[in-house]
Structure 1
Amino acid sequence: MTDARGIAALAQGYAQGSLDPVDVARRALDQARAPGMDSVFITLLEARALEEARASQARWREGRPLGPLDGVPLAWKDLFDMAGTVTTCASDTRRQAVPAATDAPAVRALAAAGMVSVGKTNLSEFAFSGLGINLHFGTPPNPHDAAVPRIPGGSSSGSAVAVARQVVPCAMGTDTSGSIRVPAALNGLVGWKPSSARYDQRGVFPLAPSLDSIGPLVQTVADACLIDDALLGRAPLLRASTERPAARLVIPSGTLMSELEPGVAAAFEDTAERLAKRGFIVERRAIPVLDLAHHLFATFGTLVGIEAAAVHRELLDDPAALARVDARIVQRLRLGQAIPAQNRQALRNNRPLLVAAMTAALAADEALLFPTVPMAAPPIAALAADPVWFAQCNARVLRNTMIGSYLDMPTLALPCGTDGAGLPAGMSLAMATGRDEALLALGLAVEHELAA
């Protein structure tokens, strides 16, 4: 439905009269109901979508669209409050929760830009896994292997698959340890994780409040920029993808480049070489703070585990409710709950120090370049059958992204080819906290050169 070029193609079609927002919304709803999509969407919002599409249709016909997002369909990870709907968090324990009274501010912001909300998407239960497997609502299969069901990545699994299958050109996700970036990488998409304070996160069910961020999964960096502007409540900025910003791409030796699957490593190295040939300065050097953060997790545990256990304290004290939660999620919550007080303090105390060290380690015009996930999407069956492999694989897919979250680094996850077997591989561009604008400009330039 949504041409792989993304949002720009829809806006052009609306402006030319060759596409109509109501027709596009109906097709999106039809595709969301198609066979095999029941594990992608938890709730469809047909009445809302058609009402919003009709309003957009009228604006386009009268020559007064709200902007390039007017009439563009999108989906929302089912952590975002939307008026009149239950925010399930893809957990059986929340099927009967009280419906939200109002839209989350992010929902209101994109509605104000004219976007059409089609539905709410599936995720890892409580957003607490990077794999996307869900015991209660099903697991959206990765669309890049028709023969073997593979993980979509998580936790924003349904959002990624909805975009990868071109039901919608944009779906909103959340990211605490990699939940936008991992599914973007495994589905060949662009994922945008901003600095955590960039957008209003009220009305979004938390996982780890000090680490949580929200952002889109889309087809292009240009689309991510449009969503960024709308979430900030400003008119679209004119960002020229052909104007290459002065920037140095730093491939960090050490943890982020270790234990890569050969196919992923080859795809990444090929892309880095292409960027160098296109005139980008690409260098390799050690960034000790990255390895220090990884060592901190191995020594003291994870901040996401600590905060998730605090968020779900009441659930952990309710045996009847806890029996309805996937045992693998319960185990992760219990591990976070068991982290000793001194370890918790060490993780909290060291965080601002390491964030500052990361800012000092990268010049204002430097960005890290590294594989988003060290592996391609593995089969679902083996993970579902083996809790040990589930835990090991979950830690592996989140390894690189979790470090960036702890350091509050804005990050763009970008496609970088396939692993040789046709499965997507991804790379990340990341800057020090607060350098979101510079990173989006760099992402546009990188995307432009790779497409040339």
Structure 2
Amino acid sequence: MSEPTIAAAAEALIHGDATSREMASDAIDRIAEPAGEGSRAFVRRNDTRAIAMAEASDLLRSTGRRRSVLEGLPISVKDLFDIAGETTSAGSTALARQPAANADAPVVKRLVAAGAVIVGTTNMSEFAFSGIGLNPHHGTPRNPFDRETGRVPGGSSSGAAVSVSDGMAVAAIGTDTGGSIRIPAALCGLTGFKPTARRVSAEGVVPLSTSLDSIGPIARSVACCAAIDAIIAADAPLPPFELQLAGLRLAVPQTVVLADMDRAVSAAFNRALSRLSSAGAVITDIELPEFSEVATIYARGGLVAAEAYHWHRQLIADVGEQYDPRVRVRILRGREVTAADYIETLAVRRLWQARVEAKIAGYDALVMPTVPIIAPAIAALEGDDDAFFAANALVLRNPTMINFLDGCALSVPCHAPGEPPAGLMIAGAQMQDRKILSVGLAIEAALASITAFG
């Protein structure tokens, strides 16, 4: 049975079919289940606080009041966000001796003010520096698809996705620097939204790349993502406007993003395009040669290595041996990026963005596979650096284009029941968030007859 959307869970509370305390207790029980993924999906729990928050929500509801659609719903938060009284560890052991946070990050404050029940802090790729989701310190939560094999959940928001897929939270808050919300959403059969970066405050959040980091939700539907986005971005709580799919102009980039698709993703993607076309969408193949330039820009270290090294340099000097070696080696590349290199990359990015925005301006959205492959097996990547780095580069490739654009993007499921999860990415230029969410609603509805949302 599928887990509920935010709207369905909220209706259950409104009509008295459940209490917030019952929902929180159920989430806690699922996290604690010995045979489940909770011990790998979460790095910190505060059951007492979660129950107290839920009981407070039930009391408020008994007076006829509700702060938002998130009132009383269990939500998980990635281990990058400060929570008062806790040490934010970013999926690492290197920060274990750092002081506890004095205050909640603004995103957490907004969730709590909206009535959300924070059930715990989720596991992640160490310091958010991987699209795979492996974590040698806390273990790797297994993808809900094919648990017998044990497949990666996608990263870096690995625990966030598994917390939703396994009913430990109705929705999760993650971060996305090169796909870290959309990748785990795609690989786990969920919906994820990366907003325009500047719309959501990154204060109180451990950074990876201050130029690229974005904060958004992983949930079960586009409407769920839109509801959370409005709260954490402090926007007016307006739903995305209604759009008819017929006549929407959807561009499919032919450069880079369709390469190296495996058979399952290719079949799901092409079937989705056929369904959208049949429903009246105008689908156009376009060349975006700018996409072929991104790998070269990143090969010089790009923005991520330089900005990550700036934040990590003293910590690596002090306790570098505690880092995952695969993370440490990529951060240390930032030592080789000169100030001139960094400034040049910023300038190149601005020109690149202008060229891409001009070419996509006539379309309602770009559509492409979120990730070109299904989730690989954990065992195949844990002990093989070459396999790990090849898979990591491949899963990050398509989402990274939109981060470099400073755009916004959804990933929605496009696989059929019983098939390996695959995501369809719906993307647009910066500050087109509400439009992309609206396009996403229309596409989600058109794909409903073939997709598996749970």
RMSD of equivalent CA atoms: 1.8
How do residues 116-131 of structure 1 correspond to structure 2 at under 5 angstroms?
Answer: 116-131=117-132
**Structure 2 unmatched runs, 5+:** 450-454
Structure 1 position 235, deviation (Å): 4.8
Percent identity over the alignment? 40
**Letter paired with 1:225:** A
How do residues 159-178 of structure 1 correspond to structure 2 at under 5 angstroms?
Answer: 159-178=160-179
Which residue does the alignment assign to 1:223?
224
Which residue does the alignment assign to 2:447?
450
Which residue does the alignment assign to 1:313?
313
How do residues 22-421 of structure 1 correspond to structure 2 at under 5 angstroms?
Answer: 22-35=21-34, 36=36, 37-239=38-240, 243-244=244-245, 247-298=248-299, 300-318=300-318, 321-363=319-361, 365-417=363-415
Structure 1 position 61, deviation (Å): 2.0
Which residue does the alignment assign to 2:452?
none
Structure 1 position 317, deviation (Å): 2.4
Structure 1 position 345, deviation (Å): 3.2
Structure 1 position 422, deviation (Å): 3.0
Q: 1:95 to 1:364 in 2, by over 3 A?
A: farther
Assess if the C-alpha contact under 8 Å between 2:246 and 2:282 holds in 1: no
- 2:438 paired with 1:441: yes
Assess if the C-alpha contact under 8 Å between 1:367 and 1:430 holds in 2: yes
Which residue does the alignment assign to 1:15?
14
Q: Secondary structure at the match of 1:55?
A: helix
Distance in 2 of aligned mates of 1:239 and 1:430: 15
Instruction: Note the alpha carbon deviations across 1:240-263, whole angstroms, 9 max, x for none.
Output: 556448631100001011111121
Structure 1 position 4, deviation (Å): 2.9
Distance in 1 of aligned mates of 2:419 and 2:414: 12
**Letter paired with 1:359:** E
Assess if the C-alpha contact under 8 Å between 1:5 and 1:220 holds in 2: no
**Letter paired with 1:20:** T
Moved over 4 A (4+): 240-246
Q: Secondary structure at the match of 1:192?
A: strand
Assess if the C-alpha contact under 8 Å between 2:252 and 2:283 holds in 1: yes
Structure 1 position 309, deviation (Å): 1.4
Distance in 2 of aligned mates of 1:360 and 1:388: 37
Instruction: Note the alpha carbon deviations across 1:331-368, whole angstroms, 9 max, x for none.
Output: 11122322355443332211111112222111264211
Assess if the C-alpha contact under 8 Å between 1:246 and 1:365 holds in 2: no
TM-score by length of 1: 0.95
Assess if the C-alpha contact under 8 Å between 2:264 and 2:420 holds in 1: no
Aligned residues: 447
**Letter paired with 1:28:** A
Distance in 2 of aligned mates of 1:327 and 1:292: 28
Compare 376-385 and 52-61 and name the one that shifted more. 52-61
Assess if the C-alpha contact under 8 Å between 2:226 and 2:239 holds in 1: no
Structure 1 position 214, deviation (Å): 0.4
Instruction: Note the alpha carbon deviations across 1:414-444, whole angstroms, 9 max, x for none.
Output: 11106x9732111100001111111111111
Assess if the C-alpha contact under 8 Å between 1:293 and 1:354 holds in 2: no
Compare 121-130 and 91-100 and name the one that shifted more. 91-100
**Structure 1 unmatched runs, 5+:** none
Distance in 1 of aligned mates of 2:193 and 2:446: 19
Instruction: Note the alpha carbon deviations across 1:191-230, whole angstroms, 9 max, x for none.
Output: 1000110111101110111111100000000001110111
Structure 1 position 96, deviation (Å): 2.7
Structure 1 position 381, deviation (Å): 0.9
Q: Secondary structure at the match of 1:395?
A: helix
TM-score by length of 2: 0.94
